[in-house]
Structure 1
Amino acid sequence: MTTKIIVSYDGTDNDRDALSLGSLLARTGAALELAYVRHLHETGSGRERLAEHDAEALLEAGAAAIGAPETPRHVILSASTAEGLRTLAVQEQASVIVFGSEYRTAKGHVDPQASARRLLDGGPVAVALAPAGFAERSHDGIATIASVSEDGDPCPRETAEQLARSLGASVAQHATREADLLIVGSKPGTVTGRVTISAAAEYLIELATCPVLVLPRGVALCFGAGGA
């Protein structure tokens, strides 16, 4: 089964960073989809049709921006972006949701936006975080992948190795600032299949200058042929 990646996209600069990261990860052969969460149902059929049209046009422009106009797109109606994306990910059997960093994050740094933080606290799928300004970088690919796990969880390392094979990258022996992607495991005691990060992992994310992929506890993601 092909690994599925959903990008949370609203056309802002930081979500363009998420789109760029999702497109980069899709080079593994993963299926890429875009999602936009609307929070209100407009009163009046005309206003509602216009709001729906604008949302669909926004996602269409995002797909065109990465040269993949046929990318599947989802407009969700939910009071909460995090809950809307969580529900979509479960329905679509997605493995990863990709977010940009918080508004006003310094370029080159990672600061999870509010919706991402909610999914980092008990979410059912992996969360990928793009540094601010990531879309502006030239992307020749991912050359080095680092992983960090706690209490012997092998899944971050296994995921790093899967990604490295798919992308022709190398796996660093230790977390390093030179890495192009950092994979972080959930903390010990987390329910299997759920995401929860420790204070140490949160600090590591704050220091990161590359994209970060946070995994559910006990879950290794598969990329490339036979990905699941």
Structure 2
Amino acid sequence: MSTDLIVSYDGTPNDDDALALGQILARSGASLALAYVRHSREFDPRREEIAEHDAERRLEHGRTWLGDPTIPCHVVVSGSTGEGLLALADAEGAAVVVFGSDYRTTPGHADPGATAWRLLEGGPVPVAVAAAGLRTRPDTRIETIAVFDAGTAGDAERAAHLLADRLGAAVVDSAAGPADLTVVGSQPNAPAGRIAVGGLTRSRLNSVQGSVVVVPNGGELRL
């Protein structure tokens, strides 16, 4: 069974923000799963058992936070968190990978951490980054969606309208003030189906309030 939304989760407070955003996006009818990436296996069986238990404990905490013990959880072993998540997203046919913001992010803003940036630099899967502090407002609805498209293909515009239809939100002018969610398009010179974030887009990501979703060049959001 495929999964629409994969939340990268390690039990830290900012990853609780990712849970909150995943839960909000899942109101579109999308399926949700949690993933934790271990970077290696232990040679000693006892140490391996402890490490596996720690990973499962973190994911169980995420299930508890969401209030749903049936949510699928994945423990991935990969030397790179980003590569592990990309492999899982490919295997699951995921539509979006969801992250929390960097731990230093100002509340209300979204700032991708190192692993999110790994996927934003050539990844094939749309990336969502939760606004810092979203975990304190888990009942929040996405009511307004803004668009920032550095290219001309209209990828972000189409994704924004799809999300608006699924979530009962309105697409608004980005100049009108902060939106609950901003959908960001990739650079027009990015390889087809890949994300590329240039200077203008980086500047937008650094200044935007609310959560963000970044879509690949020519790609579609499949929620």
TM range (shorter): over 0.9
Quote the residue 1:162 is aligned against. 162
1:59 aligned counterpart, secondary structure: helix
Quote the residue 2:209 is aligned against. 209
Give 1:91 deviation, angstroms.
Answer: 1.2
Give 1:154 deviation, angstroms.
Answer: 1.6
1:100 corresponds to which letter in structure 2?
G
Identity %: 48
Quote the residue 2:52 is aligned against. 52
Q: How does 1:109-148 map to 2 (within 5 A)?
A: 109-137=109-137, 139-148=139-148
Give 1:98 deviation, angstroms.
Answer: 0.7
Quote the residue 1:226 is aligned against. none
Q: How does 1:13-162 map to 2 (within 5 A)?
A: 13-137=13-137, 139-162=139-162
1:123 aligned counterpart, secondary structure: coil
CA contact (8 A) 1:2 1:29 kept: no
CA contact (8 A) 2:3 2:33 kept: no
Structure 1 residues 93-136: Cα deviation after superposition (integer angstroms, max 9, x where no partner): 11111111112222222221101111110011011011211111
1:122 aligned counterpart, secondary structure: coil
Structure 1 window deviating more from structure 2 (56-65 vs 184-193): it is 56-65
Give 5+ residue unaligned stretches, structure 2.
none
CA contact (8 A) 1:2 1:30 kept: no
Return closer, same or farther for 1:103/1:174 CA change in 2, 3 Å cut-off.
Answer: closer
Give 5+ residue unaligned stretches, structure 1.
224-228
Q: TM-score, normalised by structure 1?
A: 0.93
2:44 corresponds to which letter in structure 1?
G
Q: Structure 2: how far apart are the matches of 1:124 and 1:151? A: 17
Task: State yes or no: 1:185 paired with 2:188.
Answer: no
Return closer, same or farther for 1:67/1:176 CA change in 2, 3 Å cut-off.
Answer: farther
CA contact (8 A) 1:147 1:175 kept: no
Give 1:56 deviation, angstroms.
Answer: 1.0
Q: Structure 1: how far apart are the matches of 2:177 and 2:95? A: 26
Q: Structure 2: how far apart are the matches of 1:174 and 1:3? A: 30
1:25 aligned counterpart, secondary structure: helix
Q: TM-score, normalised by structure 2?
A: 0.95
Give 1:220 deviation, angstroms.
Answer: 2.3
